[in-house]
Amino acid sequence: MLRILLFLGTNLAVFFLVSVVFSMLGLEGILAANGVDLNLQALLVWSALLGFFGSIVSLLLSKTMAKMSMGVKIIKSPQTEFERWLFRTVQMQAERSGIGMPEIGIFDQAAPNAFATGWNKDAALVAVSTGLVEQMTREEVEAVLGHEVSHVANGDMITLTLIQGVVNTFVFFLSRVIGHIVDRAVFKVERGYGPGYFIVSIVAQIVLGIFASMIVMWFSRWREFRADAGGARLAGKHKMIAALKRLQASQEAQMPGELVAFGINTGRMSKLLSSHPPLEQRIRALEAAN
């Protein structure tokens, strides 16, 4: 989940910042022929440039942002017996998966967590939290590492970037079309753009961005099942199931009383915006796999 949140956070920041700057500088004026008609072809090209710029920048900055925001300590030269085991395990899994050796890191977080990120398969980062190391057995940690290495081997970050770029493009394109229509039909602006265009465009961009996030999150949830299968292949099916059950128990233990149901059985909207499927679904999928 951290991998997705960091990527989406950076992408949204770049996307909206560039969008606002372009609007303030009046660069969107080139999209209107004679200041009246909307040039849809030019708008689509402009939208694609802006949409993919945000997602590509997010991908290129993914490792740097992860290290800075999570305080990841990179293991360059293993010192302890556990660090040597961690290094050997990731190295073996990377070789079996046909990818370059990722950087390995540990970040200080009480909850069991892990993520993998990076702009290509041979320049990735795999990091685990101190909570995961302390609360899981080595067999379970091995399965989690296999899950994250599988994300890298499957090219999930690159594919996510392409999907995010496409949805960004349509969010920007449709929000400007809606703003243009409202500006002409409601506010009766005949030439150029009035304040209504910019206000409506920004509101439409936010609303459409929520629906776009649902598409990206659906893709993310689907890829989690694939990464679980990859973790089972690299570490063993029983280890992957045990790791997921450990995470499930940890979630329930951290939520007292009535909050347990809220955390595990989220509402419909929360499920649509979740980057990971419910743990019980992931466990059932692995148990049913051959």
Distance CA(18)–CA(50), nearest Å, equals 8
Tokens standing for residue 135: 């609360």
How does strand 103-107 pair with strand 73-74?
antiparallel
Looking up tokens 């293993």 gives 78
Distance CA(157)–CA(155), nearest Å, equals 6
Say if residues 110 and 131 touch (Cβ distance below 8 Å): yes
Say if residues 122 and 116 touch (Cβ distance below 8 Å): no
Distance CA(63)–CA(278), nearest Å, equals 26
Q: Which residue, among 175, 173, 172, 197, has the nearest Cα to 184 in the 3D structure?
A: 197
Distance CA(216)–CA(8), nearest Å, equals 9
Point out the catalytic residue in the list 148, 190, 252, 258: 148
Distance CA(116)–CA(104), nearest Å, equals 9
28 is catalytic: no
Looking up tokens 């990735």 gives 124
Distance CA(271)–CA(47), nearest Å, equals 29
Taking the CB of residue 126, how many other CB atoms lie within 10 A of it?
A: 25
Give the residue numbers marked as catalytic.
148
